[in-house]
Structure 1
Amino acid sequence: MSELAWPEPDIGTSGTSRTWRKKAVVLLYAPRSRDAEPFEWSLEYSGSEEQSSGEEKETPAVAEARNTMRSLSVDELGASGLTQGVQDRVLEFLDATTTEASTFPSIVPDDDGVAVLHWVAGERSLQVDVEESGPTYLWAKEPGHEAVVLTEASAITVCARVNVRRIAEDVTAVNPAWRERMRRL
């Protein structure tokens, strides 16, 4: 169970750049006891990005997902594959949560046609389920912390954006040339 305190994002634009600031406060309950006191998990994220005039360039994670999902489609896998609607929502989700520095998630269809996206770096792990309606489930584990579960789409997007950034930072700190090595595979 989670309760969200979710203010509208502060967004400012000037010229071709955009800045944002979002804060989510989630009250989490111990999964083994309904009588447990809730503890607060707070997430604040801010940043900026350049806006282009015209066509947006997709991030490497979006490009990789687009290529991966071709082999996971209903056309290739039959009923157990991903519909075009799910594929479109995955690409939209990755466009909203990844940057040029982001690592690539593994993507697999589950039995219900949901796309399961998974990132891992050391003890840090993130899973996001995406359906035709968009992201519906997030499970995130940070080193030294309890796992977080979210089921509200906008909270999932913000939390995933932060976790994908942290995973990329962890991977780059350990292996700065990871992207070049991935290109060679």
Structure 2
Amino acid sequence: MIEELLKDAEKRMGKAVEVLKGEFAGLRTGRASTVLVEDIKVDYYGTPVTIKQIAQIAVPEPTQITIQPWDTSVIPNIEKAIRESDLGVQPQRDGNIIRINLPPLTEERRRELVRKAGKLAEQARIAIRNVRHEVMKELDKLKKEGGFSEDDIKRAKEELQKITDKFTKKVDELLSKKEEEILTV
């Protein structure tokens, strides 16, 4: 029972780190990436869908992203969604293709992105701590119900703290790597 709780906690904390990795991938650095636009929601015949579901996205140059929708009638909707996103870029229509030229990041924008990365990392840390808190409650409940010795519960809590520390350290490593990537001109 205790072993299952710890494995579940590790799995859930791992998911928090994976979500953070995905969020960081969507944070703009100096280079173009399809991840920047693929999850932007677009109104497609009354249904919100992601750009990656309705178009082909490519990076022909290091500072440019192209979006080629399979249904050209949705181009204005894609342009609108990109303008309203927090990317801070203007899409340009080129026939049936939408081009997004990414300007170099200003010092102010870089600092803003670092702050945003810090907030995302803190959300991941909070998610990890919440998992720890829930499992601690479960361990206390097992202790009250009996069936497990106080030493078993104490060892489990120590192991849970080690797991928590491991994932918190991963979050910190990801954050410092992302900050360095953003601040590199």
TM range (shorter): under 0.3
**What TM-score comes out, normalization by structure 1 length?**
0.28
The answer to which structure has the higher helix fraction is 2
Larger gyration radius, structure 1 or structure 2: 2
The answer to which structure has the higher strand fraction is 1
**What TM-score comes out, normalization by structure 2 length?**
0.28
